[in-house]
A = this chain, B = another copy of it.
């Protein structure tokens, strides 16, 4: 758009920072969008200096070129669901005493309540402890290897707790050859990944280990073509999903694709029927599938020298960590934030655990909060207005490297989803990525109590920017 086009069009001012200015405009009847905003570099001198060094033309040019490579690798990725396997047999580095978790590294004693609940539940499920109390002791003893999912080509929803016997998706990026994993949906509410761990949770995990996983794996053994997840995701966004917290369409598409193979698989009608009924019990079945598709796509953009594109955003319920293409596996962290949104009946924001889960890989890829304009119906779950949902996708254009032509938003004239968050742009504009997410109760043993909107902490981007400047400029 040329500057002339800008002046010919109706301006919709985006107001950053001072609410008073927006209130003035509102009084004058001008349509404004109010954004969270912090001044460039968050006002920190070291960060402002780093930003200045990175903005020098010869440096900026080098970064822009690297970011285009990163973007191209993201956009060209073709993640295919190729099968399901037990974590012990498939996930790199998995052992009988390994527990993978969401977010950046964290020791057991620092974990949030819901993550501790999930860890102890998983230890009981694995038969490593006879009950949650014994599991708590074991987890704190140092005998268990805790490690982020993200460091094992994996992602995990909410607590992200993944143990040896759990079944995981196996998704291959057929363009770039890398593989990614994530566990199966337990569906919603009182479940392990939200910190619940009573017998009903363990029983469900047992059924998932003995029936759900094997049936899905058996079905995919018969589907030798695999399932093109990018194509299916693109359809889901044309069907009102944003593929983080609204997965209604994706779930129906995925089970439709699996159904003929489930039918033909070598299990009893009763077992197959249980699988259909379990999938139909919640819209979330495909939620992890889009996470792992995004992970497989983003991993292809890792390790590009000079790139300031964010390849990971993940939270462990205490720390929010990001990783950047040009700085390898290094985590940059800040405090996990409160999630603001409607609570389930009987709960208040004071009951909320902080932002948790690897599911922000969806926003990192350009869906979820970044694609909320595709999913106006999601406001019923995460709050806010339809106009706000529409606005988020446009606003995210200001902090991303490009748009994904394969994953488009019909209501925005088929705009591609904003992709390739640029650390520089986040720090220049002070606009933080938007994330929509579920809310776990802060205590272990409860479960999901709401959903809403949140942002990463600016500190993670400040650290990343300084590290990038030290490395590149």
Give A376 to B252 CA distance when docked, in angstroms.
20
Binds B, one of A76-84, A148-156, A273-281, A443-451: A273-281
A272: nearest residue on chain B (CB-CB)? B263
Give A240 to B235 CA distance when docked, in angstroms.
10
Give A379 to B413 CA distance when docked, in angstroms.
10
- Dominant secondary structure at the A interface: helix
Residue A410 lies at the interface, judged by CB distance under 8 Å to chain B: yes
Kindly identify which residue among B235, B264, B379, B411 contacts A376, using a CB–CB cutoff of 8 Å. Answer: B411
Give A413 to B380 CA distance when docked, in angstroms.
11
Q: Which of A215-242 contact B (CB under 8 A)?
A: 235, 238-241
Residue A138 lies at the interface, judged by CB distance under 8 Å to chain B: no
Q: Contacts A249-B249, A410-B376 hold; do A263 and B276 have CB atoms under 8 A apart? A: yes
Binds B, one of A253-261, A305-313, A331-339, A417-425: A253-261
Give A252 to B236 CA distance when docked, in angstroms.
11
Kindly identify which residue among B239, B257, B259 contacts A239, using a CB–CB cutoff of 8 Å. Answer: B239
- Beta-carbon contact of A248 and B256 below 8 Å: no
Copies of this protein, total: 2
Residue A8 lies at the interface, judged by CB distance under 8 Å to chain B: yes
Kindly identify which residue among B31, B256, B386 contacts A413, using a CB–CB cutoff of 8 Å. Answer: B386
- Beta-carbon contact of A269 and B263 below 8 Å: yes
> Contact size class for A?
35 or more
A249: nearest residue on chain B (CB-CB)? B239
Residues of chain B within 8 A of A413, CB atoms compared: 385-386
Kindly identify which residue among B239, B264, B411 contacts A411, using a CB–CB cutoff of 8 Å. Answer: B411
Q: Contacts A8-B29, A386-B411 hold; do A249 and B240 have CB atoms under 8 A apart? A: yes
Q: Contacts A29-B8, A386-B411 hold; do A248 and B238 have CB atoms under 8 A apart? A: yes
Residue A377 lies at the interface, judged by CB distance under 8 Å to chain B: yes
| Closest Cβ–Cβ distance, residue A165 to chain B (whole Å) | 27
Residues of chain B within 8 A of A8, CB atoms compared: 29
Residues of chain B within 8 A of A238, CB atoms compared: 240, 248, 377
| Closest Cβ–Cβ distance, residue A49 to chain B (whole Å) | 44
A386: nearest residue on chain B (CB-CB)? B413
- Beta-carbon contact of A259 and B255 below 8 Å: yes
Residues of chain B within 8 A of A272, CB atoms compared: 263
A375: nearest residue on chain B (CB-CB)? B410
Kindly identify which residue among B248, B264, B385, B390 contacts A235, using a CB–CB cutoff of 8 Å. Answer: B248
A262: nearest residue on chain B (CB-CB)? B263
- Beta-carbon contact of B263 and A273 below 8 Å: yes
- Beta-carbon contact of B410 and A240 below 8 Å: yes
Q: Which of A50-85 contact B (CB under 8 A)?
A: none
Which are the 6 A-B pairs with shortest beta-carbon distances? A252-B252, A376-B410, A377-B410, A238-B377, A260-B276, A239-B240
A sample of 16 cross-chain residue pairs with beta-carbon separation below 8 angstroms, ordered by A number, consists of A10-B29, A238-B248, A238-B377, A239-B377, A252-B252, A252-B253, A255-B256, A256-B280, A257-B280, A259-B276, A260-B277, A260-B280, A376-B411, A386-B410, A386-B411, A386-B413
Using A239-B239, A256-B280, A259-B276 as known contacts, list a sample of 8 further A-B pairs with CB atoms less than 8 Å apart, ordered by residue number in A: A10-B29, A238-B377, A239-B248, A240-B249, A260-B273, A260-B280, A264-B273, A386-B411
